[in-house]
């Protein structure tokens, strides 16, 4: 890992150059021991855990609640995201149970799922064949435990996969869209994708625009 990070700009792959991205430069960067990741504080109680050294530039989100914390996706499984989460919660003195919810079950979003016990996802045939874990009703599990601090509404936003979801924190105006929207080309040609459903999902999210002031997302 250290040898990768010590490469000069001229020998690095293009996606590794000129970090941080302009989209993240205004955010507070949090130092962590795992060099594979960069961590940014998105807003109060929300951290973006970012993989800048892989071309997909996947991002997971650690979201603090009053009774439970939530990790949205576990990325590629190249670094140790569980260690990063433990480091952040220890720094903030947050001692709460943690649940993982998968925004989709493509391999770049569930790579470290095996390290966690409480894992939730939308119950579809696609999910059952692509993710091992507890895929019971995530809405019923999360709502009672989020308390008055943060309430996350789970929105089904299929299209990229049948099991895609988005999370909406209406109180703080934060919408987590995962791979439903990002800056770059979105792939809708695989067997599990559906362009018609994707368009409907975008229409659903567009209706929230007046309530949203921040959409954490990938660069591309």
Residues 32 and 191 sit within 8 Å (Cβ to Cβ): no
Query: pTM of the full predicted structure?
Result: 0.62
Region of residue 133 (left: phi > 0; alpha: psi -120 to 50; beta: else): left
With respect to residue 164, please indicate whether it lies within any of the assigned structural domains. Answer: no
With respect to residue 200, please indicate whether it lies within any of the assigned structural domains. Answer: no
With respect to residue 95, please indicate whether it lies within any of the assigned structural domains. Answer: yes
What token pair was written down for 158?
Answer: 């299929």
At 174, is the pLDDT very low, low, confident or very high (cuts 50, 70, 90)? very high
Give the model confidence (pLDDT) of 16-72 as tens digits.
777 778 888 889 999 999 888 999 999 999 999 998 887 778 889 999 999 999 999
With respect to residue 62, please indicate whether it lies within any of the assigned structural domains. Answer: yes
Task: Provide the residue range defining the domain that includes 116.
Answer: 2-150
Task: State the pLDDT at residue 56.
Answer: 79
Instruction: Determine the average pLDDT of the residues in 143-151.
Output: 54
With respect to residue 8, please indicate whether it lies within any of the assigned structural domains. Answer: yes
What token pair was written down for 198?
Answer: 């994707």
Task: State the pLDDT at residue 139.
Answer: 39
Tell me how far apart the 2 most distant CA atoms of the chain are, in Å: 51
The overall average pLDDT reported for the chain is 80
Residues 64 and 45 sit within 8 Å (Cβ to Cβ): yes
Count of domains for the chain: 1
With respect to residue 64, please indicate whether it lies within any of the assigned structural domains. Answer: yes
């Amino acid at each position: 890992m250290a040898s990768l990070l010590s490469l000069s700009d001229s020998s690095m792959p293009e996606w590794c150059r000129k970090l941080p991205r302009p989209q993240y430069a205004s955010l507070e960067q949090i130092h962590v021991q795992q060099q594979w990741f960069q961590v940014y504080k998105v807003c109060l109680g929300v951290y973006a855990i970012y993989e800048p050294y892989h071309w997909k530039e996947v991002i997971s989100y650690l979201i603090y609640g009053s009774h439970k914390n939530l990790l949205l996706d576990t990325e590629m499984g190249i670094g140790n995201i569980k260690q990063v989460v433990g480091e952040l919660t220890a720094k903030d003195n947050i001692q709460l149970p943690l649940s993982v919810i998968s925004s989709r079950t493509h391999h770049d979003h569930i790579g470290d799922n095996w390290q966690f016990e409480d894992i939730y996802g939308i119950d579809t045939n696609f999910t059952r064949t692509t993710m091992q874990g507890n895929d019971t009703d995530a809405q019923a599990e999360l709502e009672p435990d989020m308390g008055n601090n943060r309430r996350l509404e789970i929105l089904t936003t299929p299209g990229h996969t049948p099991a895609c979801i988005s999370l909406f924190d209406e109180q703080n105006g934060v919408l987590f869209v995962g791979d439903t929207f990002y800056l770059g080309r979105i792939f809708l040609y695989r067997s599990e994708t559906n362009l018609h459903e994707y368009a409907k999902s975008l229409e659903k999210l567009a209706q929230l625009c007046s309530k949203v002031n921040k959409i954490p997302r990938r660069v591309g």
